[in-house]
Amino acid sequence: MKLHLIDTGTFKLDGGAMFGVVPKILWQKLIPPDADNRIELAMRCLLIETKNKLILIDTGIGNKNKNQFIKYFSPKNTHYLLDNLKLKGFSTTDITDVILTHLHFDHAGGAVSLNKENALIPTFPKATYWSNSVHWESAIHPNIKEAPSFIKDNFIPFQETGQLKFIPFSDSEYQFIPGLKIRFLHGHTTGMMLPVINTDNQTFIYCADLIPTIHHLSLSYIIAYDIQPLQTIKERNEIIEEAIINNYVLILEHDLDHACIKLTKNESGKVQAIPYNLKI
């Protein structure tokens, strides 16, 4: 099993929303905002290469966005998804599976593209797209808090082509293939899926929006988009403690500067991150 990090560009979100109730005077020292109070975030996907599968975890924001959307979120280099797949030696037709951790637009936007006739089509024509029934229901019938994050053009097209399948929802981890399990969380959004990858000598967790950046290792920084903040705190703390005990590598989807980290605690018990170089 080989792991490839796939850069799909950047976008901007309100800094206050990303750091929650913590005052700006504190969080702006971590990621300086622009004049509109927005911070720039990465969109880092993961490609899992096995003997007979090529599994893409998340797809970035995509490049079919309209002018008003672009004004709000300033996506850049969204063509990187396809370009960087090509640099790895793969095409859109090589992808066998797309696992979407959740269907918010910055994770699922690249799953669907516009063709030459300006029609919406699945970006990966031969892939099976994976969600789960609990999360799918929340995306199809969103609550008022999440409705702006679920853009149906990002996921209805691959349902209509028959490429959508559901991973069986479970209170425990689901074995997707040997070496890849799926863990279900509910703090950020109902049924968010965290891939847990076991190679010969290392376990990796793709953290999605549970720990979007290295700064969110702090339990004080709970993003405003989370539907159950206290559940996020519980889930994040569990992953952090588990990662420390078991020497896991955490893959951060939205951190511009830190792709992979391991965790330790200093003498005072504070969690510290150690950069990890994912060798391809």
Which CATH number is 103's domain given? Answer: 3.60.15.10
> Considering the domain boundaries, does residue 92 fall inside one?
yes
> 42 - beta bridge partners?
10
3-state secondary structure of 278: coil
Whole-number pLDDT of residue 280: 57
> Considering the domain boundaries, does residue 273 fall inside one?
no
Whole-number pLDDT of residue 96: 98
Residue recorded with tokens 């950047």: 10
**How far is the C-alpha of 105 from the C-alpha of 40, rounded, in Å?**
16
> Considering the domain boundaries, does residue 217 fall inside one?
no
> Considering the domain boundaries, does residue 119 fall inside one?
yes
* CB of 121 closer than 8 Å to CB of 159: no
Whole-number pLDDT of residue 247: 96
**How far is the C-alpha of 82 from the C-alpha of 110, rounded, in Å?**
9
Whole-number pLDDT of residue 278: 84
Successive 10-residue mean pLDDT values, the chain, 280 residues: 96 97 96 97 98 97 93 94 95 98 98 94 98 97 96 97 95 93 97 95 97 97 97 98 97 97 92 86
* CB of 273 closer than 8 Å to CB of 254: no
Whole-number pLDDT of residue 267: 87
Beta strands in the chain (DSSP E): 2-14, 38-49, 54-57, 97-99, 112-114, 120-122, 128-131, 164-166, 174-177, 180-185, 192-198, 203-206, 249-251, 260-265, 271-275
**How far is the C-alpha of 68 from the C-alpha of 204, rounded, in Å?**
37
* CB of 35 closer than 8 Å to CB of 12: no
Pairing assessment for the beta strands 174-177 and 164-166 based on DSSP bridges: unpaired
> Considering the domain boundaries, does residue 255 fall inside one?
no
Whole-number pLDDT of residue 74: 96
In one-letter notation, the amino acid at residue 204 is F
> Considering the domain boundaries, does residue 169 fall inside one?
yes
Task: Give the range of the structural domain holding residue 89, as residue numbers without chain letter.
Answer: 2-194
Counted domains in the chain: 1
pTM of the model: 0.96
Please say whether the dihedral angle defined by the alpha carbons of residues 165, 168, 172 and 176, taken in this order, is positive or negative: negative
Whole-number pLDDT of residue 215: 97
Q: Which class for 51: exposed (0-12), middle (13-18), buried (19 or more C-beta within 10 A)?
A: exposed
**How far is the C-alpha of 111 from the C-alpha of 108, rounded, in Å?**
5
Structure tokens at 81: 């998804």
* CB of 13 closer than 8 Å to CB of 56: no
Whole-number pLDDT of residue 183: 97
> Considering the domain boundaries, does residue 87 fall inside one?
yes
3-state secondary structure of 211: coil
